[in-house]
A and B are shown apart, each in its own frame.
Chain A
Amino acid sequence: MAKQKLKMIVFYTRAFLPLHICALAMAMAGIRALASPQFNMPGTTLGSLVAETLGGHEWNMFINIDAVTDWLLALLPPLTGLIVYMRSVMGKTLMFSLYRHGSKAKWMTSLQASMLLYTLLLTVLMGLAITFTGFFTGMRGLHVFGLDQSGFYNRIWWPPLFSMFTYAMQSFMLLEIYLFFYLLSGEVSIGLIAFVLPVIFAMLRGSNDELSGSIEWFINWGMSKRYSFSSGEYGVPVKYGILRQVLVNLGLLGLTHTLIPYLPLTERKEP
């Protein structure tokens, strides 16, 4: 039974990931890597390029609209895939699939599970695209140079993976917000606004490291470059950031689940 459910989720995720969405995500990631300031720095490794491209922006008192747009562009590929997918599953396909699930809650569970898998897969694809872009332009090494646990400057391997993880978590959180408002309104435009506005607002309000409250803004939990990894440094503590992201994601999952039985998905004449 569990194997069968897993197969269904894989099927659904495959439906999320048509070739053009994969190509878009990889192209966007490659372009952002090429445009990254890290790209032209001598001695840059593949690992640091990934950490830089998916790691967001440093703390900045005077964050400008370019940085906001850049981060929105970084988050665009998962959103595009979700919009394409939701159009399919919420259209006439819903009529075929909903009764097979047996309830709206079960339908939503499969959708959210595949959305999580999709976000993780898309992040891996983007990470690969950045790595290949760097590799073909002569970069080597999946590590970054940084202070290890004993305080020595050394090769460390986890920062690229950490930046991919925080990026995936933030993408998933924003996709959940999109999904929630889209299901509530039935309008793609409302979902888009619900996705974009929090990013812009949080970036503009929460990027100042001289205001201690900045850590409370969700945008910072999704940018590994705003984390603090050593004592005395200002930034989002690792456990705090990850825990908050996971809790917010769980909260959003719960909220959508609570709401879904009351949403008129099939009552609308043209769902």
Chain B
Amino acid sequence: MDICVENICKHYGKQEVLKNVNAHFASGQIHGLIGRNGSGKTVLFRCIIGYTKPDTGEVRIGTKRVGIDMRYPDSLGLILDTPGFLPQFTGQFNLELLMSIRGRPEKSHIQKVMCRVGLPDTGRKPVGKYSMGMRQRLGIAQAIMEDPHLLILDEPFNGLDSQGVADIHSLLKLLRSQGKTILITSHYVQDIEALCDTVHEMQAGILQQI
């Protein structure tokens, strides 16, 4: 499913965060978004998933308009900001909790997904005791565990070591080969260039393709 962003503007008070943003993200590809902190990348992602209502313009996923024909995208995996989990529970329990909302949580499937992101042996360790990198890996696990068609990943490499970044690169390339559409932001231009089929840059609310 292609994603079309058309004439999106968004203000917070007097600050114009998105300025007439237009973009087309083709299905089955990895699309990268780079830009400085506060440039509007995350707000654009929020508009795409229906968490923030733009002042003007619309987002279409396939033929459906977000916020009008559907409240949130139907098949979505998401990381937005720092992954937030219930810190007193294990990673496995957190994933089971989230998966129970839409489907039947199967322990074996969740363990498989955790292995896939490099968290095979966390045992009974609560998420509150995870390192930043482990939380990030768990965040990626929750995004991919329901096999969604669309992945929106805001800074997925934050806190990961070089091996972790390489692992997630491989995983995302595999998901692309399976036909998933992936939107990704990063501060690290080299990550984006190595991974993405298209790259856009956000500068003070203005989006342009590089």
Q: What is A's interface to B at a CB cutoff of 8 Å?
A: 4, 7-8, 11-12, 15, 18, 88, 91-103, 110, 266-267, 269
Chain A: minimal CB distance from B129 (Å): 15
Q: Output the least CB separation between B191 and chain A (Å).
A: 22
Q: Which residue of A lies closest to B102 (CB)?
A: A100
Interface residue? B50 (CB, 8 A): yes
Cβ–Cβ < 8 Å partners of B49 in chain A: 99
Nearest CB in chain B: distance from A99 CB, A = 4
> Given contacts A8-B101, A99-B73, could you give 15 more A-B pairs where the C-beta distance is less than 8 Å?
A4-B103, A7-B100, A11-B100, A15-B89, A18-B88, A92-B84, A93-B85, A96-B84, A97-B101, A99-B49, A101-B101, A102-B71, A266-B46, A267-B53, A269-B12
Number of residues from B at the complex interface, CB < 8 A: 32
Q: Shortest distance in angstroms between A25's beta carbon and chain B's nearest beta carbon?
A: 16
- Is B78 interfacial (CB-CB < 8 Å)? yes
Contact yes or no, B80 A95, CB < 8 A: yes
CA distance A73 to B143 in the complex (A): 41
Chain A residues with Cβ below 8 Å from B88 are 18
Set of chain B residues within 8 Å of A101, measured between Cβ atoms: 101
A267 to B10, CA, bound (A): 11
Task: Please measure, in the bound complex, the distance between the C-alpha atom of A267 and the C-alpha atom of B55, giving whole angstroms.
Answer: 12
**Bound-state Cα–Cα, A123 to B190, Å:** 56
Do residues A4 and B85 form an inter-chain contact, with CB atoms below 8 A?
no
Alpha-carbon separation in the docked complex, A62 to B86 (Å): 45
The answer to whether residues A99 and B53 also contact, given A4-B100, A12-B97 and a CB cut-off of 8 A, is no
Chain A residues positioned under 8 Å from B96 (CB to CB)? 11
Q: How many angstroms from the CA of A2 to the CA of B119 in the assembled complex?
A: 32
Q: A266 touching B52 by the CB < 8 A rule?
A: yes
Q: A102 CA to B88 CA in the complex, in Å? A: 26
Q: What per-residue 1/0 map shows which CB atoms of B14-56 lie under 8 Å from chain A?
A: 0000000000000000000000000000000010011111000
Considering the complex, which residues of chain B in the window 75-92 have a beta carbon less than 8 Å from any beta carbon of chain A? 76, 78, 80-89
CB-CB nearest in chain A for B51:
A266
Q: Are B97 and A92 in contact (CB under 8 A)?
A: no
Interchain CA distance A98-B52 in the complex, whole Å: 13
* Residue pair B81, A93 in contact (C-beta under 8 Å): no
Chain A: CB-nearest residue to B103: A4
Residue in A closest to B152 when the chains form the complex, CB atoms: A99
User: Are B86 and A88 touching (Cβ within 8 A)?
Assistant: yes
- Pair A267/B52 contact, Cβ less than 8 Å: yes
Residue-wise, chain B 90-118 has the 8 Å CB interface mask toward A (1 for contact) of 00000011101111110000000000000
User: Which residue of chain A lies nearest to B74 when distances are taken between CB atoms in the complex?
Assistant: A102
Does residue B130 face the partner (Cβ distance < 8 Å to A)? no
CA distance A101 to B53 in the complex (A): 18
Query: In the complex, what distance in Å separates the CA atom of A98 from the CA atom of B101?
Result: 10
A103 with B97: CB separation less than 8 A: no
Instruction: Determine whether the beta carbon of B52 is less than 8 Å from that of A93.
Output: no
- List of 7 A-B pairs having minimum Cβ-Cβ separation, nearest first: A92-B84, A266-B51, A99-B72, A100-B101, A8-B100, A93-B84, A95-B80
A11 and B97 within 8 A (CB): yes
Q: Do the beta carbons of A92 and B100 come within 8 Å of each other?
A: no
